[in-house]
Chains A and B, each alone.
Chain A
């Protein structure tokens, strides 16, 4: 589930240690259905997806790489990601049969740096101390470049292509203001960028002549400044949503904000309410909430997006 966050780091690290990286196939209907079948019914869609991806991989690999993201920021108070991201490996381990041995990558910034985590991983993989250091610095480097590309407005897919293949990631006009309708997308990246579950939301927006603005473009400092205006939140990823929503809702070059939340997502149910009630003001650009689950049809998403874009265009014509 942290593919869109850390994959460049992992890939470099794993390959540097002599492992071959096998990715699960892109999400598709049967993959998702398989995940749903092995999962608790009322859990959030992304976890169901994750199960699907694990099942897709399990017979094709010698060991399974899973991440456990406990905390992603260093703060004086307790911060967390989401209980499910913390307990993910435990769930997988106990509920799926016939899994290959697991390699666990723990991100717990509150207690150890990303570098320490990466070092542990390199050691687990059996890299010698000397090479390990080299691999380590290279992977952290690649990761930093990847994050920089995201800030420039590339989608994770484009950014990865650029970092790994040296392509230019065809940076098509993501700068604010170039197209006529700027729509900011706020939501977990594993929802927005999973082409199956979000039905290619960013691309759909583009085909309607709208310009999707991604959360990953907003620099950390800006997010933090926005967050100062609200009482503390303990979930780091939800903080990003709140900060980004607050930033986008306060700008006049953003024409609309779409809040993308996953059905049965615990933190989103709370943060969605906070964004709607504490952040939105009568002056904010329109805000709409799109709830995605495994039953959301492509047509449903398309209609919602079209309606939203139309609404913005009409409102503008009237002015």
Chain B
């Protein structure tokens, strides 16, 4: 079985570990670029949300690279994401590709569990356990590396050195086979990151919460790698979500994530009374928390026509005045350009600096 799945940040690292432990050959398409998006947009319905187009582009690449199975989560949710797998796979079949689908969530756990009966030699349950352990270990390593890079970047002496160390560290983890090797890879990655030269900065960096539609927040190809961009502008980004949480939230194995979700819903309730099916509670509560914790601003990212975030977008100006915190809305689509983004970020940074200065004066 040659299996592939669409990109979501660095999620391919733990997911590859999971699937290869189940005896599948994993095909990881190259990181999405504007070409991927264009290819996806060509086959996608015209005004479907951007993540759909990127995912479709990833799948196309994977099929061209020889994948014979495509995996995707899918389900009965209030938002479009639940239909991605179904519609994308149909589009690809109509375009003449032949492949097997794994639709996690729609097919039930049992069906997915059994899909790997032929690829595993030996006991299936044991393989799943082993695969899950590897998945978890690598997800944790990935999260630790991302976090450490995020904290270092604003202080780095040579611009780009943190990201270089991070990429190298992630590569080590991705290539590690087995748990022991993964641990060693994480140590190696830590060393690399510790080796990044830092310098003293005059003022503490601006603190910015980054939130919005989950894919727009976590997938660098969609948001022009905003986390890195901000870090290299000397700003400390605080993403409200992480790939790690995104992977583990539906598994319900980590109580702290569930508690945090519930808390977010509660904070958001005065503004959004019902579940809308996206990250709306994180967006609203993230903004409120950012203001309460004294952040300098909030960056709200969402794909063009994204339903839950459109609603948030209508509510955020109210939060901006209720909680007195500046918010930058960035709407992403396939025509967005990195220069446009830079200009808007720079203007926003100026605004935040000004506010900080006038505050410390007054």
Contact = CB atoms under 8 A, between A and B. Distances in A.
A267 B80 contact: yes
Interface string B40-75: 000001111100000000000000000000000000
Interface stretch (A55-63, A196-204, A269-277): A269-277
Interface string A49-86: 00000000000000000001010000001111011101
Interface string B272-310: 111111101000000000000000000000001111101
A291 B276 CA distance: 25
Interface residues of A, number: 40
Interface in B247-276: 271-276
B83 interface: yes
Given A94-B314, A273-B87, A87 B272 contact: yes
Given A266-B79, A273-B91, A277-B90, A43 B310 contact: yes
Nearest to A40: B313
Interface in A9-58: 39-44
Nearest to B44: A273
B315 interface: yes
Contacts of A269: 45-49, 80, 305
A266 B318 CA distance: 24
Contacts of A235: 78
A82 B278 CA distance: 12
A38 B304 CA distance: 18
Given A80-B78, A83-B278, A277-B94, A91 B311 contact: yes
Given A95-B318, A269-B80, A80 B87 contact: no
B106 A39 contact: no
A80 B86 CA distance: 18
Contacts of B307: 82-84, 266
Contacts of A278: 90
Q: Which of B78, B90, B308, B318 has the most CB of A within 10 A?
A: B78
Contacts of A89: 273
A90 B79 contact: no
Contact of B45 (A40, A91, A273): A273
Contact of A90 (B77, B273, B317): B273
B219 to A, nearest CB: 19
A41 B95 CA distance: 33
Contacts of A80: 78, 277
A95 B308 contact: no
B315 A94 contact: yes
Contact of B314 (A78, A91, A272): A91
Q: Which of A235, A263, A272, A273 has the most CB of B within 10 A?
A: A273
Nearest to A78: B76
The DSSP consensus for interface residues of chain A is mixed
B318 A234 contact: no
A232 interface: yes
Interface residues of B, number: 41
A77 B311 contact: no
B318 A94 contact: yes
Given A39-B314, A40-B310, A40-B314, A231 B82 contact: no
A263 B91 CA distance: 21
A82 B310 CA distance: 12
B185 interface: no
A42 B317 CA distance: 16
Contacts of B308: 83, 87
A272 B272 CA distance: 29
B331 A42 contact: yes
A312 interface: no
Contacts of A272: 45
Contacts of A70: 274
A218 interface: no
Given A90-B311, A263-B47, A266-B305, A83 B276 contact: yes
A264 interface: yes
Given A42-B331, A266-B49, A270-B87, A234 B271 contact: no
Contacts of B304: 42
Contacts of A232: 76
Contact of A274 (B87, B271, B318, B331): B87
B111 to A, nearest CB: 14
A231 B86 CA distance: 9
B311 A87 contact: yes
A289 to B, nearest CB: 10
A133 B227 CA distance: 58
A95 B317 contact: yes
Q: Which of A234, A272, A274, A291 has the most CB of B within 10 A?
A: A234
Nearest to A38: B314
A274 B83 CA distance: 10
Contact of B310 (A42, A234, A263, A277): A42
A274 to B, nearest CB: 6
Contacts of A68: 273-274
Contacts of A78: 76-78
Contacts of A274: 83, 86-87, 90
A261 to B, nearest CB: 9
A92 B220 CA distance: 33
Nearest to A43: B310
Interface of A: 39-44, 68, 70, 77-80, 82-84, 86-87, 89-91, 94-95, 231-235, 263-267, 269-270, 272-274, 277-278, 291
Return the 10 tightest CB-CB contacts between A and B, nearest first: A94-B318, A234-B76, A83-B276, A87-B311, A94-B315, A80-B78, A91-B314, A266-B307, A83-B307, A269-B48
Given A70-B274, A80-B277, A277-B90, 11 more contacts: A42-B331, A84-B311, A90-B272, A95-B314, A95-B317, A266-B305, A273-B45, A273-B48, A273-B90, A274-B90, A277-B87
11 contacts: A40-B310, A41-B331, A42-B331, A83-B276, A84-B310, A86-B275, A87-B272, A95-B318, A264-B305, A270-B45, A274-B86
